[in-house]
Structure 1
Amino acid sequence: MGRKYNSERAVSPKEGEEHRDGILAFMADWDDVAKYLLTYRRDGRPRMRPVGAYMDGWHIQTVTQDVHLKTGHVRRDGRVAYLFSGMSGRDRGNDPVSVFVEGVAELVEDQERVRSFLLWRAERLGLDPSYPRGDFVPFLIRTTPLYLRAEGFTGRRHPVVYTSFPGIAAPP
């Protein structure tokens, strides 16, 4: 029992730093990367669903609605995780480029801040600033990352792991 499993050991911090810009660009890719948000139900069970995720530096931002389950989950428990999964084929179908992020989410309900985000998003991505529409109140989930594990940037089975993010102070 004394042996350690080292096949999936993270690359060195120095090598990891060489991939920061590429990983951030991957996370911001709107066309070829699927994004999923994990929140926690009242009883502690996880719930994951596909979402739009927009990068502001290392902060991850997702629009939600007052009526969505994820809104209540984040309001009760700010622990969240995101999975960014590449949709392009690779040598092995079960080995996509992916980034997993654990973080702390802030539910932004202030409509001035939400509107500011919607305008920022519209300008950046060419979207209609009034989207989403409907009879609901839009909110914003703004996530500060605490841990990131990126697969497929340095070769098979050698992830990049970050626990610090430039320009972001650790949440209280």
Structure 2
Amino acid sequence: MYEPTKSETQELYLKIWLNFSVGHLSQEQLAKLFDCSVDTIANAIKWAAENRTKFDTPIYAEAAKEAVEARLRELKNDIIRVKESTPVNWNAVIGMNRLIQENEELLWKLQTVIQDKSLVTINNTTQVNQVLKAKDEIMEGMSDGERQQVISRIREVIGKQDNNQERSG
């Protein structure tokens, strides 16, 4: 089997595979979308399926986003064709609108993941950036002694969280 060596080719193969699996596009549609042969698409799908663990999460997120965008384009084109047909199949229109809505929600979530990948959360609720901003606002009007008390209290809380995570882990 062909083993792509360039990282650009590997990323392209991953995008093809994600468009195939997430975007639900046929190999012929993928060949047209990526301007290559059906054999290249088949090789890309096979290679990416076997080697997908080699890629970082941001590459997956970006490729999945592109796959969902392509799927949305296809669905929107399909719904136009269905609405222009005579007689209009309203059940198909309703189903396609539901698929479009689900894909738009997925796209929104993927975009959020891509944009917010630098944010770290504590216990999945409080974001570090929010904690730092609040700490800065609180400390502006405090004396040095009060600041030291806040800092020691924050260290206590963080230490307790670390100890609890070690015990449960």
Bigger RCO (CA 8 Å, 6+ sep):
1
TM-score bracket for the superposition, by shorter chain length = under 0.3
TM-score by length of 2: 0.20
- Structure 1 or 2, whichever has the larger Rg, is 2
The structure whose residues are more often helix, as a share, is: 2
